[in-house]
Structure 1
Amino acid sequence: MAQDAVEDYEYEALPENSSLSASLLAGAFAGIAEHAIMYPVDSIKTRMQILQPTPQAVYSGVINALSKISTTEGHKTLWRGVNSVILGAGPAHALYFGTYEYAKHAFGGNESGHHLIAAASAGACATIASDALMNPFDVIKQRMQVHGSVYTNVMDCARKVYATEGMRAFYISYPTTLTMTIPFQSLQFATYEYLRKVLNPSGRYDPMTHITAGGIAGAVAAAATTPLDVAKTLLQTRGEATDVRIRNCNGLVEAFKLIYQRQGLAGFGKGLGPRVVSHMPSTAICWSVYEYGKWFLNKSNSEPVPMH
């Protein structure tokens, strides 16, 4: 009976005898797993969103892109730049989930019942903090993902981008990134927390709940914010373009105008398929790894609860 009590304790709210390090470590593992496992699909998404693609990098869909890239450039091309997200994802997601847990508790999100505003607000706080750290790594990643990228590794890319475009290149997309990720994470967290409580009212650790709720939350948020992601890709890869207007594009409004002028409304949906395909499993992986890590680390610090 005592063992059952240990397994059923409310791990979701981070018990008082558990340090913040449990959330940070679980978040770091979750971030690395999320980005690394689905990285090839993310590479395809970036290629499909490029506003000025080379003739060799025009794709009709995810399968066509996967086949074409693997055949003409080799399957390793799909993994170019993955070291950048691995380096950045660990600390960024540790900060992300640590901020989320702290903010959710402060906003009353750990109380019984549904607290969508608290979860959404905590998600917004988390993304502001983590994106400030992750944005340069994301820029490097996308520069290495484009067709014909000449960078040999992450450090080579960082050095060359800084030498030719300065520090501004690593943060030119940060306002746009926040404009995208704040609604993305707010919608994702609110959807996840709602579904988690609906599917698992007891609050016990249940992997299938986290996989299902995380996958649906990721798909919904990814689809809703794709237009902003297209603009972010344009800004982060502008230095690789030969088109003067693209190279000099300076913000979200200008990026939206340029996309509309060149590709119409359809341009804002570029990469929707691979973005949803990528985010649905990656978010499910992220939440399931995070919840398992939090459960495991907290369980290790918990004492059996005596039954009377």
Structure 2
Amino acid sequence: MSSKTNPVTNFLAGGVGGACTVIVGHPFDTVKVRLQTMPKPKPGEVVPFKGTFDCFRQTVAKEGFFALYKGMAAPLIGVSPLFAVYFAGCSVGRWLQQTHPGQEMTFLQNFNAGALAGVFTTIIMVPGERIKCLLQVQQNAAPGTPNKYAGPMDVARQLYKEGGIRSIYRGTGATLLRDIPASGAYLSTYEYLKKALAPAGSDGTQLSPMRVLFAGGIAGIANWSVCIPADVLKSRLQTAPEGKYPDGIRGVFREIIREEGPRALFKGFVPVMLRAFPANAACFFGFEMAMEGFKMLGL
């Protein structure tokens, strides 16, 4: 079995890549969620944040630098196994499409493998995303209002009390809508760039750290270019009060189009793109370094 189709080594290396992603990208994610869930001001009210950099500035000024890392425990616990499952799922997707061992995947085959992995990751991702978003936006409450949640475990406890396991997994359909195409674009773009950037005459597996970082960063941009409207819908749905959207993502979509227009589906675009390159460059760099380590150990 080749390293690309070995689910065990891909699982372990994916966990390393996921941890790198969270550490580098979480501040941008906090800003993105706060912008996406920012309520539309009523006549005479001032908009809470004028834009991406104003949100950064206000968050740090009012709450301190480490406020940008609020809610990081949930994705750090969830994202490492999430990326582990993702890369293991990619290896399974490649294996299912192979007609002989060591077969090189086409762009479409890599897309299919990534899309399949996106399905696998949903069961891990949804609770962590719901908890993360609620912690990130609770500072948007009226001044003097005490925080509803004390931390990730308190969020999970309260959600379960309010609506059971269905409340914890609210946004599953929206997450699938976001992640199936985005995960396909993620893997296929990275693998394409790996081959395109490889030195002439090489087999495409030996890349310098800078080339890995570049290919991973562009793959991250491709991923988010595909999925940001669905991500806006997911964030709104997962942070809404219980029962606000009885018909789920369709109700969120109708409300956004009716009250804010189509441009609102791209709220958070700037912080997403600012985050996409460094966070995903770090992810693939961590993944590739871990895979190289496994090769040195003969795994």
Superposition TM-score tier, normalisation by shorter sequence: 0.7 to 0.9
Letter of the aligned partner of 1:72 in structure 2?
Answer: K
Structure with more relative contact order (C-alpha pairs < 8 Å, separation 6 or more): 1
Q: Is the 8 A contact 2:233 2:252 kept in 1?
A: yes
* Equivalent in the alignment of 1:65: 55
Deviations 1:50-104 (A, max 9, x none): 1526878722222111111111122222211100011111222211111111211
Tell me if structure 1 keeps the 8 A contact 2:133–2:235.
yes
Q: What SS does structure 2 have at the residue aligned with 1:167?
A: helix
Say whether the 8 Å CA contact 1:108–1:118 is kept in structure 2: no
Q: Quick one: distance in 2 between partners of 1:162 and 1:203?
A: 48
Residue aligning to 1:5: none
1:48 aligns with 35
Q: What corresponds to 1:252 in structure 2? A: 249
Whole-angstrom distance in 1 between the partners of 2:185 and 2:246: 28
List structure 1 runs of 4+ shifted beyond 6 angstroms. 53-57
Q: What's the TM-score, normalizing by structure 2? A: 0.87
Residue equivalent to 1:124: 115
Q: How does 1:148-297 map to 2 (within 5 A)?
A: 148=141, 149-200=147-198, 202-206=203-207, 207-239=209-241, 247-297=244-294
For the residues of structure 2 that align with 1:104 and 1:117, how far apart are their CA atoms?
11
1:14 matched to 2:15: no
Q: CA deviation at 1:249?
A: 4.7
Give the Å deviation of 1:15: 7.5
Provide the aligned C-alpha RMSD in A: 2.3
Deviations 1:95-140 (A, max 9, x none): 111111121132139524x601111111011111112112101100
1:292, distance to aligned residue in structure 2 (A): 1.2
Q: Which residue does 2:134 correspond to in 1? A: 143
8 Å contact from structure 1 (residues 192, 213) kept in 2: yes
What percent identity do the matched residue pairs reach?
Answer: 27
Q: Deviations along 1:234-255, whole A, 9 cap, x unmatched? A: 1110128xxx7xx235322221
Name the structure 1 match of 2:83: 93
Alpha-carbon displacement from aligned partner over 1:142-182 (angstroms, at most 9, x marks no partner): 00000244211111111111112322122221111111111
- Inter-CA distance 180–251: structure 2 relative to 1 (3 Å threshold): same
Cα displacement (A) at 1:286: 0.8
Aligned to 1:111: 103
User: What one-letter code is carried by the residue in structure 2 that aligns with 1:37?
Assistant: V
Q: Distance in 1 between matches of 2:107 and 2:128?
A: 31
Taking a change above 3 Å as real, the CA distance of residues 70 and 51 of structure 1, as seen in their structure-2 partners, is: closer
What is the Cα deviation at residue 221 of structure 1?
2.2
What letter is aligned with 2:150?
T
Quickly say closer, same or farther: Cα 1:193–1:268, change in 2 above 3 A.
same
SS in 2 for 1:225: helix
Determine the structure 2 residue equivalent to 1:8.
Answer: none
